[in-house]
Chains A and B, each alone.
Chain A
Amino acid sequence: MSPSQSVLLSYFDSEEHVLDATRAVREAGYAVHDVYTPYAIHGMDEAMGLKSSRLTWVCFGAGLLGTTSALALQYYTSVVSWPLNVGGKPFNSFPAFIPVAFELTVLFAGLITVAAFLLRTKTFPGSKREALPRVTDDRFVLALRADESDAKLRQMLERHGALEVEQMEVAS
């Protein structure tokens, strides 16, 4: 990891153009740093060659943790700590514990998954990170890990509708 790295930013004005360009440069063997878009583009993960997120597993684990915690809490309070005889019902009245177990499953899974997302993508309140101009509005930016000198690449980008191509040093 070098302290700074060079990326080539190319601006596009539509979803179709940026998708085509991303596919083309990847096929030509260039390394895609990232693509910045105002909304989620379907098919972009495929074009960039991203693997499916492992956050689904986090969600599954968190849900399991929620179920276990809820059942353990209810068992402990109703059977171990303070067994209360209500109309002769069993202390460990499992069916009665299902609603709370379900709710806590959802609660744990939801909160932990979002927390994991924020950690993984390094988004948090007070982040100093800024967006490139107009990327959250109406522009699409393809960022490549490439050198300026490559004229063939520039040509290819322009052929796919790049409005502007700019070299930029970024902290890596």
Chain B
Amino acid sequence: MSNQHTSSLRVPLVGEERTLGQLTGEICAPMERKPTGKWWVAFALAVATLAVGVGMVSYEVATGIGVWGLNKTIGWAFDITNFVFWVGIGHAGTLISAILFLFRQKWRTSINRAAEAMTLFAVMCAAIFPVIHMGRPWNAFWVLPYPNDRGSLWVNFRSPLLWDVFAISTYFTISAVFWYFGLIPDLATVRDRAKGLKKAIFKALSFGWNGSSRTWHRYETVYLLLAGLATPLVLSVHTIVSFDFATSVIPGWHTTIFPPYFVAGAVFSGFAMVLTLMIITRTVLGFEHLITIRHLENMTKVIIVTGGIVSLAYGTEFFIAWYSGNPYEKFTFMNRAFGPYAWAYWTMVTCNVVSPHLFWFKKVRTSPAAIFVLSLVINVGMWFERFVIIVTSLHRDFLPSSWSMYTPTVVEVGTFVGTFGLFFTLFLLFTRVLPIISIGEVKSVAAFARGTHAPAHASHPAHGPETPHEHPAEAPEPLPTPALAAVAVRKDMPV
């Protein structure tokens, strides 16, 4: 059975060899020690940024959405750009945890937990925008279909905006369940190490998990089912978001290429964001042997592919605008590239079409610093993509007398910056209170690094970069018998 892990052709998934106990200890360490100075600095910055956002949203809600730079021509701009941007960021999390799981890509194990958390936080950030865009967020529940006292008035199920409501709320719920479900065994691990109040909290959170194989067996089944459900969900969410545009009649929006193009773009930007976060996390927490260069490299390869799809989509859009013979369509695209927002268009092209190609070089692909910079560049580019699609399509519509320009106000920029504060605040808290690497799953692939139990390590030439082992695999320590004896007399232990 276990020989499948140890082909000499396979590169180990986690670096240096570790015993199972060492893995548990290392992954739990950030939760058990006091936060470092660096963490406090980052947290203070994130909370300060979040405060800016809270201030801006409060001001906007108190005053009305007139404080935004929108006008009669451009009725959607910064808020919807940010909404689509953040929803897109979230997609990589589910992609890593669900699609890579279905494809049996075991390299996902070190990054899936953090990526799923990222999804949740990104969707929270995204949800803020449509809600405040309503102008009266306290009436947000009107988007739900419920029997009400306003006659038999229902929501309009034929509107893509309502589809969004269902898509985003389902996406958030299923992502949260998927994430928590994956956490249960790890919460039990933390519970068994903790003491006092922390133990009580984790005891409640871990649902009485006891590592039974009968439970594991069902757990694996349900995990697979959830992955199978989440996979089409990822594709559907951004497809439905793209319907907001594609079902309209605005040139530049009304295109059938939008659904796949939006999904590819979402994965593209999401992977860039995962890379940004993972590079910071592995450095700050010292998880270089768990989130290895190989993980980073694999993600950059996904970026090359999705970047390629996005570039192809840009080209196809332009070609069809000309080939369709529709003068409005053609004008919109010429205006995008050479009109007043050409700077935004060319920023997008530089960041999204040109920069991913640097990843063809192995030197770039394996340098965390280079990947970090490029991942930021790609995120900027993807934000501009949404801005270009939304603003340039609207600002010169069918009627030249209503042509207009759009500039975001301080309130809009502040709100957007504030969502980054929210995102990083939540992520930093997450690194403190929960295991950010899936302990159970990493252990199951640790055999890749360990080889067999025999000292076969030296005989495996393909063991990747040979590193000096700080923690050589030890001989199994004897089990503390008194502990077992104490349990053995307990009759209430429903084993």
- Encoded as 1 (CB less than 8 Å from any B CB) or 0, chain A from 52 to 83 comes to 11011001000100000000011001100110
What is the bound-complex CA distance between A126 and B209, given in angstroms? 11
**Interface residue count for A (Cβ, 8 Å)?**
86
* In the complex, chain A residues whose CB is within 8 Å of the CB of B2: 15-16, 19
**Residues in B neighbouring A19, C-beta threshold 8 A:** 1-2
Chain A interface: which of B37-45, B214-222, B353-361, B369-377?
B214-222
Note all chain B residues with C-beta closer than 8 A to A82: 151-154
Instruction: Say yes or no for B184: interface residue by CB 8 A criterion.
Output: yes
Chain B residues with Cβ below 8 Å from A15 are 2, 447
Which of A78, A99, A106, A132 is the one whose CB lies under 8 Å from B174? A106
Interface contact B24-A137, CB-CB below 8 Å? yes
Count A-B contacts at CB 8 Å: 256
Give complex CA distance A114, B192 in Å: 24
- When distances are taken between beta carbons in the complex, the residues of chain A under 8 Å from B230 are 106, 110
How far, in whole Å, are A102 and B177 apart by their CA atoms in the complex? 18
With the chains together, A107 CA to B189 CA distance in Å?
Answer: 29
Query: Which residue of chain B is the closest to A16 with respect to CB atoms?
Result: B2
Say yes or no for A151: interface residue by CB 8 A criterion: no
**B485 engages A166 (CB within 8 Å):** yes
**B139 at the A interface (CB under 8 A):** no
- Are B487's CB and A106's CB within 8 A? no
Interface size, chain B (Cβ < 8 Å): 84
Chain A residue numbers with a CB within 8 Å of B494 are 129, 170-172
Q: What residue in chain A is nearest B205 (Cβ atoms)? A: A125
Q: Residue B479 at the A interface, CB < 8 A?
A: yes
Enumerate chain B residues within 8 angstroms of A97, measured Cβ to Cβ.
Answer: 157
Asked if B208 is at the interface of the complex by the 8 Å CB criterion, the answer is yes
- Residues from chain A with Cβ under 8 Å of B189 in the complex: 38, 136-137
Closest to A63 in B: B229
A16 to B226, Cβ gap below 8 A?
A: no
Which residue of chain A lies nearest to B441 when distances are taken between CB atoms in the complex?
A39
B225 lies within 8 A of A55 (CB) = yes
Give, as a whole number of angstroms, the nearest-CB distance from A18 to chain B. Answer: 9
Q: Given A38-B443, A138-B20, check contact A169 B491 (CB 8 Å).
A: yes
List of A residues within 8 angstroms of B214 by Cβ: 34, 48, 50, 121
Asked whether, in the complex, the Cβ of A111 is within 8 Å of the Cβ of B443, the reply is: no
- Check B212 against A34 for contact (C-beta < 8 Å): yes
Query: Is B460 engaged at the interface, CB distance under 8 Å to the other chain?
Result: no
Say how far A121's CB is from chain B's closest CB, in angstroms.
Answer: 5
CB nearest to B478 among chain A residues: A163
Q: Could you say which of A33, A56, A81, A109 contacts B221, with CB atoms under 8 Å apart?
A: A56
Are A131 and B192 CB-contacts (below 8 A) given A33-B495, A103-B236, A110-B174? Answer: yes
List 28 A-B pairs, Cβ < 8 Å: A7-B495, A11-B479, A19-B2, A34-B212, A38-B24, A38-B443, A39-B185, A39-B441, A44-B217, A48-B213, A53-B217, A77-B154, A82-B152, A103-B236, A122-B208, A123-B208, A123-B215, A132-B484, A132-B495, A133-B484, A137-B24, A137-B192, A138-B19, A167-B488, A168-B487, A169-B489, A170-B495, A172-B494
